[in-house]
Amino acid sequence: MVSADDLTIDPDGLRSGLEGPEGREGLPGITVLDARWRLSGRPGRADYVEGHIPGAVFIDLDTELAGEPGPNGRHPLPDPAKLQEQLRAKGVRNDKPVVVYDAGDGQAAARAWWILRWAGHRDTRVLDGGFAAWTNQGHPVTTDETTPTEGDIEVKPGNLPSLTAEEAAALAEQGTLIDARVAPRFRGEVEPIDPVAGHIPGAVNRPTTENAKDDGRLKTAEEIRAGFAETGVRDGQPVGAYCGSGVTAAHTVLALHRAGRTDAALYVGSWSDWVTDPNRPVATGE
């Protein structure tokens, strides 16, 4: 079924929508995007080739859902014109729902969800539990390559709020800036990827995994809302999120949407952008 907040869909609901003559569950003619991705190791496309949801098209987080890595971070915002070209090649249409999935934790899928909604495609949802949930429930898998019909999406960037480094610093003072990385990275005890360890001064730590159940599915709105309240999120005050390069923090923004904070902003460049300027302050510890 589709979730009440239209953010996620479960495997049964997706299969029902795909197999109906015009799509069921209010999802006529669904486009399914396979966004499986790893920070390191073999690329997600290898997983797609080994088996994917029938009709799904692979989309690459590194090269198609982000711009070139550089001074704006490891996964900066993509160029709108290039993004439009890529999404049309995947079959994305303005009037056709999109469901995105990853291996199971929802983080790469959340990045795809955020980019599509930022680009103006409002009817985009995450498959709750991802490919693992799909296969665990016995739904079919194929190795057939999908050749989509050219889409017609018009990318209109800015439909979800994003933050620059300066805006993230200001938000940390005026509201709640959530660092979605694991606690040791937030405290500056370890930094396996970026050249500087620590966090943005004033940020608070809530690893994005705290917003999901053990199987990767999002917790309920009430559970998420209570967790964010413990983190310091308050009604009427701005809230935003960042991580290492804007991937896991997109999952935090997805969770904030479920909690009712559709104004939540994403610092897309995140820590990998912050540390490119040696004049920006760095905090360590709790």
167: DSSP letter: H
CA atoms within 13 A on the CB side of 261: 27
- 248-258 vs 221-231: helix crossing angle, rounded to 10: 110
What is the CB-side half-sphere exposure of residue 2 using CA atoms within 13 A?
Answer: 19
Residue 247, both tokens = 């991937």
Q: Which two tokens stand for residue 146?
A: 């999908």
Containing 127, the helix (H) or strand (E) segment is strand 124-127
In the set 2, 18, 243, 250, the catalytic residue is 243
Residue 237: C-alpha distances to residues 2, 115, 159, 173, 253 (Å): 30, 24, 20, 11, 15
What are the structure tokens assigned to 242, written together? 């960042």
Contact present, 59 and 112 (Cβ < 8 Å): yes
Q: Residue with structure tokens 């009440």?
A: 4
**Residue 209 annotated among the catalytic residues of the structure:** no
Residue 31 in contact with residue 91, Cβ under 8 Å? yes
Burial class (CB in 10 A: 0-12, 13-18, 19+), 91: buried
The answer for residues whose C-beta is within 8 angstroms of residue 166's C-beta and 6 or more apart is: none
Beta bridge partners of 70: 73
CA atoms of 5 and 124, how far apart (whole Å): 12
Q: Which two tokens stand for residue 260?
A: 């009712």
Name the residues annotated as catalytic. Answer: 243
